């Protein structure tokens, strides 16, 4: 140890003391620990997918309110809509996926949807699929297909 610096000597002496203390603490830890369960005060509610049964006119309302999007833009896409029913209407409306302009108009149209009183305080999720229909002949106008899907 004559050729080691004072720092190195201190380090060589400190390491065994540190590990020895940690080992002694680990051995004295109680081995009869009780199992702990954590629970929430409020259960997590999963979003329901039976939106058409609880908001019967949703397909008609959305078709009427959103038909112009396909006639104007003709963009295909699928938008996921999540919302909560409060006072018979849609609140906390979120939309993801698909063209951004479609998401904006879907959120606006959802404020016109009426739902059954039994649906109060439930969260719902569904998909809106925008699909421009192919023209059947040169003189017929383009038809709009807007499909609601429950997953």
Domain boundary assignment for the chain: 51-149
The CATH number corresponding to 51-149 among 2.60.40, 3.30.2420, 2.30.30, 3.30.1490 equals: 3.30.2420
pTM for this entry: 0.61
110-149 confidence digits (pLDDT tens)? 999 999 988 888 899 998 887 766 533 455 444 445 566 6
Mean pLDDT of the residues in the chain: 75
* Cβ 125 vs Cβ 97: under 8 Å: no
pLDDT band at 98 (very low <50, low <70, confident <90, very high): confident
Sign of the dihedral defined by the CA atoms of residues 125, 65, 121, 53, in that order: negative
Model pLDDT, residue 91: 92
């Amino acid at each position: 140890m004559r050729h080691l610096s004072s720092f190195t000597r201190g380090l060589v002496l400190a390491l065994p003391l540190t590990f020895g203390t940690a080992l002694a603490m680990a051995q004295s830890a109680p081995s009869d620990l009780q199992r702990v369960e954590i629970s929430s005060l409020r259960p997590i509610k999963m979003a329901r997918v039976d939106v058409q049964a609880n908001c019967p006119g949703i397909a008609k309302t959305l078709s009427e309110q959103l038909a112009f999007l396909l006639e104007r833009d003709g963009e295909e896409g699928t938008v996921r809509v999540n919302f909560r029913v409060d006072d018979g209407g849609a609140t906390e409306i979120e939309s993801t996926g698909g063209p951004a302009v479609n998401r904006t108009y879907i959120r606006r149209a959802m404020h016109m949807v009426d739902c059954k009183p039994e649906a109060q305080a439930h969260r719902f999720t569904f998909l809106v699929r925008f699909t421009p229909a192919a023209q059947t002949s040169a003189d017929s106008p383009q038809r709009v297909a807007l499909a609601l899907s429950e997953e």
